[in-house]
Structure 1
Amino acid sequence: MLNIAVCDDEAVTLDYLTREIGALFRSHGLECIVEPFQHGTLLRKKIMTTHSYDVLFLDIDMPDVNGIDLGRHLREQQNDSLIVFISNREEYVYQSLKVKPFRFVRKSRFDAEIGQVVQDIVHELSREKPHDIVLTINKTFVSLDPFKIIYVECTNKTLSIVMENEKLEITYKLADLEEMLKGYGFIRIHKGYLVNYRYIFSIERGEVVLDIGERLPVSKYRISEVKEKFRRLAL
């Protein structure tokens, strides 16, 4: 789960930035919480007292605390969050380099530039945080790449983990594995199935059809939730 903050003093702009940034991260299969802040002082207070963020999207030209001053304060506190400045004031580019921002996005070119910036952030975070999850089974460690898992089926306490080139059967709790896979784009379609949304071809009445041709059952109690989560992840 990524924690992201967006700060801009214009309410309409802030709402738009928050929605677009959240949708782009989710399109990469990443679950995230995107918090909007209309005042830099409120964001600074939250960071200093209770919260940390993986990524900060900051407007530079704000009346209370400008984005560069806020970034400088964070760096002085040894905060290593990725900072992206979003501003119409291109003359601030060189001044902003003092706080080591990850990127600078022009507001006038936001729609054209933000997609690549988010893609670069995802790549950067993946370098810092290896994808593999590690399961401990009978004192043995099993390392798995979540992105290569197509789906997981649970039968009588045995999990069948179906991957691109192999199938692994282990004794493990589905709920525990589901917790480990949070943020990697998996959907619980049934009490006995977890599916990687990237391999879903379509959702039909009572079934999920996978790219590999298999059909998996969808619980009638989960169908609306499954469709909504798939829609959000696949945006």
Structure 2
Amino acid sequence: MQGNTQMINIAICDDDVAMTATIEKMLYVIAKEQNIKISSAVFFDGSTLVANIRQGVCYDLIYLDIEMHNVNGINAAELIRNMEIPALIIYVSSYEKISERAVQYRTFPISFKTDNTGRFSGGIHGSI
């Protein structure tokens, strides 16, 4: 995809405002480095993201926190997959022990918020 002129549409869904800003900043830095055009939208709960997708907005890539109020990331992923949305979903979590239910909706490997070893940014590099 390097140097691709097509826009990659990305949704970031996390109830932690600072984390959404961190993810968004990292994505734009990586996209610039790889000469990739991206567009991002930020959501603070799964229900708003799902409603946006139901209204016809398409995302290529979705960063999804697991623990959120209202509709959590696992339930949001289930609703998104039930709509047959082919977007790549990457769970973002503070918890390293995740239930099997979290990975049954064809998601990319989980990125951990507290991991300072580069695995989080590695997940972003691998997804773009």
- Fold match (TM-score > 0.5): yes
* Contact map agreement 1:4 1:34 (CA 8 A) in 2: yes
Map of 2:4 onto structure 1: none
Q: Kindly indicate whether residue 88 of structure 2 is the aligned counterpart of residue 82 of structure 1.
A: yes
Q: Which runs of 5+ in 2 are unaligned?
A: 1-6
- Once the 2 structures are TM-superposed, how far is the Cα of residue 115 of structure 1 from its aligned partner? 2.8
Relative to its length, the structure with more strand (as a share) is 1
Q: Kindly indicate whether residue 28 of structure 2 is the aligned counterpart of residue 22 of structure 1.
A: yes
* Contact map agreement 1:61 1:89 (CA 8 A) in 2: no
* Contact map agreement 2:11 2:62 (CA 8 A) in 1: yes
- Once the 2 structures are TM-superposed, how far is the Cα of residue 103 of structure 1 from its aligned partner? 1.8
Q: Kindly indicate whether residue 63 of structure 2 is the aligned counterpart of residue 47 of structure 1.
A: no
Change (3 A) 1:33 1:105: same
Instruction: Give the Cα separation in 2 of the matches to 1:23 and 1:93.
Output: 31
1:38 aligned partner, one-letter code = F
Once the two structures are overlaid, the 10-residue window that deviates more, 96-105 or 109-118, is 109-118
Q: Helix, strand or coil for the counterpart of 2:40? A: strand
Change (3 A) 1:29 1:110: farther
Map of 2:115 onto structure 1: 109
Map of 1:66 onto structure 2: 72
Instruction: Give the Cα separation in 1 of the matches to 2:33 and 2:11.
Output: 18
* Equivalent residue runs for 1:2-17 within 5 Å: 2-17=8-23
CA root-mean-square deviation: 1.6
- Once the 2 structures are TM-superposed, how far is the Cα of residue 91 of structure 1 from its aligned partner? 2.1
Map of 1:226 onto structure 2: none
- Once the 2 structures are TM-superposed, how far is the Cα of residue 94 of structure 1 from its aligned partner? 2.7
Q: Helix, strand or coil for the counterpart of 2:35? A: coil
Change (3 A) 1:111 1:9: farther
Which protein shows a greater Rg?
Answer: 1
Instruction: Give the Cα separation in 2 of the matches to 1:106 and 1:58.
Output: 11
Q: After TM superposition, which residue ranges in structure 1, 4 or more long, deviate above 6 angstroms?
A: none
* Contact map agreement 1:22 1:34 (CA 8 A) in 2: no
Change (3 A) 1:61 1:38: same
Q: Provide the identity percentage.
A: 23
* Equivalent residue runs for 1:1-235 within 5 Å: 1-109=7-115, 112-122=118-128
User: Normalised by the size of structure 2, how large is the TM-score?
Assistant: 0.87
Which structure has the higher relative contact order (CA within 8 Å, separation 6+)?
2
Q: Which runs of 5+ in 1 are unaligned?
A: 123-235
- Once the 2 structures are TM-superposed, how far is the Cα of residue 37 of structure 1 from its aligned partner? 0.9
Change (3 A) 1:50 1:118: same
Once the two structures are overlaid, the 10-residue window that deviates more, 23-32 or 59-68, is 23-32
- Once the 2 structures are TM-superposed, how far is the Cα of residue 79 of structure 1 from its aligned partner? 0.8
